[in-house]
Structure 1
Amino acid sequence: MRADFADRYGPWALVAGASEGLGAAFAHALAARGLKLILAARRAEPLTALADALTTETVTVAADLSTMDGLRAVTDAAVGRDVGLVVANAAYSPIGSFVEMDPALTRRAVDLNCRMPLDLAHRFLPPMVARGRGGFVVMSSLAGMQGSPPITVYAATKAFGAILAEGLWAELRGTGVDVLTCVAGAVSTPNLAGAKTRPAPGTQTPDQVVRAALRGLGRGPRVVPGLGMRVSSALMSRLLPRRTAIAVIARASRDLTPPHTPTSPTG
């Protein structure tokens, strides 16, 4: 299984947003499957510590992926390396009342959560299609399935990522390149711990979410990790009236508190 995975998605994988939480879990899981890694995130120290803990060849890129310079640093690091798998995990969630929020924060959310996966898709999917193999994973969120105050802009950007991935999945069927959106619910990451006063029901570990994502790669356009979250997803998107679904997510998010540093409650 390790050899098959590396043959299909190796030899190099890029994990965007790799410093902790889901990104670090992806790094460990992909290293265990025999892939070499390009690890990108804003903070150099946790990236270096993660690279030191992995038993595979790694390249670290400390860059702000919400900026064009940061995205160029990542693509430059990939030059000469055959990247067969991209995980677009980096995200930012400004929390609070939209009308009271600094527009710079909402622009940063759009730049990181929307432009980053879009630019990485432009850069890495054409070579994958030319080779006839590869994979692209966009991390999304159940928050993006309906309006989600007080993380309204984050939720909107996560809807963009999920729909982008599903469209790419359909376009690239038959090319040998697999695209997947992983629509996660609450995940026990350091960012979520800092944003919520208590864990939500059905909260999953990063390892559980990553296992579901990698298991779903090549099997369809979307995976929702966890039985409870799949039930919630069906309930919110298919059964409840729209205004009720929005009210439910608003109640579930009412104890979110704005983070002191630019992070995302879902990693």
Structure 2
Amino acid sequence: MGEFAGKYGPWAVVTGAAQGVGLAFAEALVGRGLSVVMVDLSPKVVDAAAALGDESVAKPLIADLADPAWIEALEAATTGMEVGLAVANAGVAFVGRYLDMDPARRRAILDVNCVATADLATWALPAMVEQGRGGFVATSSGSALAGTGGVALYSATKAFSVNLIEALGWELADSGIDTLAVVAPTMDTPMFRSGGADLERAFASPVDPRVVVEGALDALGDGGRWLADEGLEFAATVPRDQRVDLMSAATTAMYPHIFEALWSDSLPLTQPHPTPITPI
């Protein structure tokens, strides 16, 4: 057993694991010697898990994270397993003006992005504390760096993830448990592609999620918040009011069919940005 698996194994739980970033996490963790419980609402998670191996390597669990009962299903699916790593990756988004959002979508964003993340932490961390080792990771977004127009509620929920992770890291500092919030750039995932973004107006090309995931796992243990690229590192240094303008402009630029009235060709910055910034 390698060093990574020795600290964070033998089992990991990854939510939103049927595709995209969650699948990239599952693949990377299996590659590092862990077995993975792959949780997703989509039945596609069954085939995704089977592609990684039998159920001693990758075990699928179909569950709706907007339903509080999903934790009971996870408890049943992991009976007898020693879980050393939990990845809260599942997410729901809405691109558009906040006031145009359907109430059901608003509730789903809060339930999946916030409540399910907190529930996973509540479920996973006590056993890790008892073991004296483990890790808890949450997938966040560049939109967490400031209130981001066009994805207002999504942005707020991703800031929730960062703050929760940082606070847990402080509280668990002497427990042997590592926490990490992955502040990610725009990634080339089915969720992103389904949103109808105009990539010609994007500030940068979407990143392969596997690259971000490998970097995140390498960073686990080095601190609570990990900024995945130089553009995000720069954005974090911009004064807050300008950062709101910057992140909102970068987001709405990709969706002119929704935000044409809000977009202008001039970014409201007093200094040039050296690298592209991709907030979602």
TM-score (norm 2): 0.85
The residue that corresponds to 1:218 in the other structure is 221
Is residue 65–residue 116 contact of structure 1 (8 Å, CA) maintained in 2?
yes
Distance 1:185 1:58 in 2: 27
The residue that corresponds to 2:27 in the other structure is 28
- How far did residue 97 of structure 1 move? 1.8
Distance 1:31 1:122 in 2: 24
Deviation larger for 99-108 or 69-78: 69-78
Is residue 185–residue 206 contact of structure 2 (8 Å, CA) maintained in 1?
yes
| CA 61–229 in structure 1, closer or farther in 2 if over 3 Å, else same | same
Is residue 92–residue 113 contact of structure 1 (8 Å, CA) maintained in 2?
yes
Q: Secondary structure at the match of 2:147?
A: coil
- How far did residue 247 of structure 1 move? 2.0
The residue that corresponds to 2:198 in the other structure is 197
- How far did residue 95 of structure 1 move? 2.0
Summarize the alignment of residues 18-57 of structure 1 with structure 2, pairs less than 5 Å apart: 18-44=17-43, 46-55=44-53, 57=57
The residue that corresponds to 2:179 in the other structure is 179
- How far did residue 73 of structure 1 move? 1.5
Distance 2:41 2:16 in 1: 8
Is residue 63–residue 70 contact of structure 1 (8 Å, CA) maintained in 2?
yes
The residue that corresponds to 2:167 in the other structure is 167
**Alignment-mate amino acid for residue 57 of structure 1:** V
Structure 2, unpaired ranges of 5+: 259-278
Distance 1:228 1:96 in 2: 24
Whichever structure has more helix as a proportion of its residues is: 1
Distance 1:33 1:241 in 2: 38
Distance 1:14 1:29 in 2: 13
**Alignment-mate amino acid for residue 198 of structure 2:** T
Give CA deviations for 1:166-192 in whole Å, capped at 9, x if unaligned: 000111112111111111111111211
Structure 1, unpaired ranges of 5+: 259-264
The residue that corresponds to 1:63 in the other structure is 63
The residue that corresponds to 2:77 in the other structure is 77
- How far did residue 58 of structure 1 move? 1.8
Distance 1:200 1:48 in 2: 35
- How far did residue 231 of structure 1 move? 2.2
**Alignment-mate amino acid for residue 186 of structure 1:** T
**Alignment-mate amino acid for residue 71 of structure 1:** I
| CA 50–220 in structure 1, closer or farther in 2 if over 3 Å, else same | same
The residue that corresponds to 2:9 in the other structure is 10
Is residue 202–residue 228 contact of structure 1 (8 Å, CA) maintained in 2?
no
Distance 1:253 1:185 in 2: 11
**Alignment-mate amino acid for residue 104 of structure 2:** A
Distance 1:109 1:159 in 2: 13
| CA 99–137 in structure 1, closer or farther in 2 if over 3 Å, else same | same
Distance 2:210 2:248 in 1: 27
| CA 13–102 in structure 1, closer or farther in 2 if over 3 Å, else same | same
Is residue 3–residue 34 contact of structure 1 (8 Å, CA) maintained in 2?
yes
Distance 2:85 2:190 in 1: 25
Is residue 132–residue 177 contact of structure 2 (8 Å, CA) maintained in 1?
yes
The residue that corresponds to 2:158 in the other structure is 158
The residue that corresponds to 1:262 in the other structure is none
Q: Secondary structure at the match of 1:181?
A: strand
Is residue 146–residue 240 contact of structure 2 (8 Å, CA) maintained in 1?
no
Distance 1:213 1:152 in 2: 25
User: 1:248 is matched with which residue: 246, 249, 256?
Assistant: 246
How many aligned residue pairs are there? 253
Deviation larger for 71-80 or 166-175: 71-80
The residue that corresponds to 1:87 in the other structure is 87
Q: Secondary structure at the match of 1:87?
A: strand
Aligned-residue sequence identity (percent) comes to 36
Summarize the alignment of residues 123-134 of structure 1 with structure 2, pairs less than 5 Å apart: 123-134=123-134
Is residue 94–residue 154 contact of structure 2 (8 Å, CA) maintained in 1?
yes
